[in-house]
Amino acid sequence: MSQENSTTPLTPEDKPLVIAGKTYRSRLLVGTGKYKDLDETRLATEASRAEIVTVAIRRSNIGQNPGEPNLLDTIPPDRYTLLPNTAGCYTAEDAVRTCRLARELLDGHDLVKLEVLADDKTLFPDLVQTYAAVEQLINDGFKVMVYTNDDPIAAKRLELMGCVAVMPLAAPIGSGLGIRNPYNIRTIVENAEVPIIVDAGVGTASDAAVAMELGCDGVLMNTAIAGAQKPTLMASAMAKAIEAGREAYLAGRMPRRRFANASSPLDGLFF
């Protein structure tokens, strides 16, 4: 999506986000789940100013509501970069199958968000299955953005395998707990030569800003917006938090000090 209606210009010092050779102005990626209806999905997605939008692939309803509205009319593929995900997959085989169906569905579009889950209580990734799926998908020509733990070793390995972006969780999916391990996220960012996008765990705007201040290249979220009391307003807040956090990262924060340090000069006091 172009950003003609964006009020905030790209920070001059910044380089744009590039994923698999394509340039994006927005560093906020959003999901389209959990909204009350497609109208709310559209309004929140527009307010987020996201250009990359994730969608899920599911069985079509057979014998019911053939006329029901279609997500792809709300989030048109010519306006957004659609990112089909493998949510709900617990094996490499199911994830690869889902990606192939998505590629057919989207006329050969080969950018996918891989997540292979290990258990339904934590929704933490199964890395053994994730590695296996990454290998098969890359061999099959996919460009893989991969969900993983906040584990610097796993993140680097996934990068070296050829993933176009690595997406560590900040906290469990849908938990809204924020950045649970900022030191690991920072280490992942420092080690990386592909975009690092925090995927999952952000709860509110300050969490998104923290992720960006740590140097992440972007944040992907769904529940933090869709689960807010006013999703469209939260989407707008998130867009600003991402930009603010990015600028703060580029600005370089002041050092932390244990004690006070006066900001008014002490010279020239008259008492």
Partner 1 sequence: MIEIQLNGEPKQVASGSTIADLVEAEGLGNRRVAVEVNLEIVPRSHYDQHLIASGDRIEIVHAIGGGQETA
Q: Is 90 left (phi over 0), alpha (psi -120 to 50) or beta?
A: alpha
3-state secondary structure of 162: coil
Closest distance between partner 1 and the C-beta of residue 72, in Å? 5
Q: 15 burial class (0-12, 13-18, 19+ CB within 10 angstroms)?
A: exposed
Task: Report the alpha-carbon distance of residue 221 to residue 211 in Å, rounded.
Answer: 12
Closest distance between partner 1 and the C-beta of residue 80, in Å? 12
Which of 184, 223 has the CB closer to partner 1?
Answer: 223
Binding residues for partner 1, rule: CB under 8 A, are 30-35, 38, 41, 54-60, 62-63, 66-67, 70-72, 82, 84-85, 87-88, 97, 100-102, 104-106, 115, 117, 123, 147, 173-174, 199-200, 220-223, 226
Please enumerate in sequence order all residues whose Cβ is within 8 A of that of 236, keeping only pairs 6 or more positions apart, or say none. Answer: 47, 48
Closest distance between partner 1 and the C-beta of residue 14, in Å? 26
Tell me which residue has tokens 């659609």. 82
Instruction: For 71-92, give the DSSP string.
Output: HHHHS-TTTSEEEEB-TT--SH
Closest distance between partner 1 and the C-beta of residue 181, in Å? 18
Closest distance between partner 1 and the C-beta of residue 40, in Å? 10
Which of 198, 249 has the CB closer to partner 1?
Answer: 198
Task: Report the alpha-carbon distance of residue 268 to residue 271 in Å, rounded.
Answer: 9
Which of 30, 154 has the CB closer to partner 1?
Answer: 30
Which of 94, 135 has the CB closer to partner 1?
Answer: 94
Please enumerate in sequence order all residues whose Cβ is within 8 A of that of 81, keeping only pairs 6 or more positions apart, or say none. Answer: 22, 24, 51, 52, 53, 111
The amino acid that residue 236 corresponds to is S
Which of 102, 127 has the CB closer to partner 1?
Answer: 102
Q: Is residue 113 annotated as a catalytic residue, yes or no? A: yes
Q: Is 236 left (phi over 0), alpha (psi -120 to 50) or beta?
A: alpha
Of 113, 121, 143, 230, the catalytic one is 113
- Give catalytic residues, as residue numbers: 113
